[in-house]
Structure 1
Amino acid sequence: MNLVLASTSAYRKILLERLQLPFDTDRPETDEAPLAGERPAATAERLACEKARAVAARWPDALIIGSDQVAYLDDEIFGKPGTEERAIAQLQRMRGRTVVFHTALALLNTRSGHIQVEGVPTHVRFRDLSDAEIQRYVARERPLDCAGSAKSEGLGIALLEAMRGDDPTALIGLPLIALSRMLRAEGVALP
């Protein structure tokens, strides 16, 4: 069976390469907006499944990986900022606070139709950042394409006070511990 990452995220691709398995990537076309009244964790899990299913027709004999991440604080969702101004505003709102990054993972077997879904939360405590620190960070790293405007795998680690979670790769966008477990359940030999 083919292994397919339903994502064009460079971060997820780099993470998946760690497992040393051959894989393809495919762009899922999904609306990433949360549904009315939907809890943040449920949004991430629904979107991970939708991304996997969005490319399934093109891969009839594959294991398709879908993943999505939602950052939230007090039920306010922090998506990909897209602009420097929104990145600065997100970081100002999160400074000195603990933000939950809920990374959801789906593995769809297109041969059997079976889908496994798991959410992996990471609690991230941001330092009490000054406006100058936030502006320097955004100018240097340009974190416009990641939920919550902070890249822990890069300079964004300097913004943090502490992290708590079961899988350090979840915060970057693809929880490899959970994915390895799912792949083994589908008969993939790892390592």
Structure 2
Amino acid sequence: MVFDTEAAFEEAVIEKLKAYGWDDAGGVIKRPTEQQLLENWAAILFENNKHRDCLNGAPLTQTEIQQVVEQIRVKRTPVAINELINGKEIIIKRDNADDELHVGKEVALKIFHRDEIAGGQSRYQIAQQPVFSSKSKLGHDRRGDLMLLINGMPLFHIELKKSGVPVSEAIGQIRKYAAEGVF
């Protein structure tokens, strides 16, 4: 197929992904900010961990989400991050006073498990045109094409180019974003 515009290519990819279950019945998340992606992830983490033995029906606070993010941030390679999240749990210390059973105690959050891929509690979402704020005052905000989220966690970033544009341009764009700390 030939695509005269990147937008047409993007829509075709989204339709194909939806055919394979990447839509989660909630629709495509359009132009999300980093904060909206974090809120989406926190909501899914809560849904998958809300039972009495974990979050006890009390949503994650901002500081609890930051504990999760920090544990991922200190990992420097995709392999280290994969080891942390794949089939394991992330330990946080509860500070939500609404969880009287666990406040001040550690709980283990299930992120996702390999045996639940394509089943179980796993949720598959598409974020279209995610917006990333610049990390410096001199830089520009960035916008991606597509991100694929599993249980709210952005695991795949896809940059698309219209027909006739070399793939190396998409690769260069991803490298530039990575060097700028966008991801």
Interval containing the TM-score (normalised by the shorter chain)? under 0.3
TM-score (norm 1): 0.26
| More RCO (CA 8 Å, sep 6+) | 2
TM-score (norm 2): 0.27
When you count strand as a share of all residues, which structure comes out higher?
Answer: 1
Q: Which has the higher Rg, Structure 1 or Structure 2?
A: 2
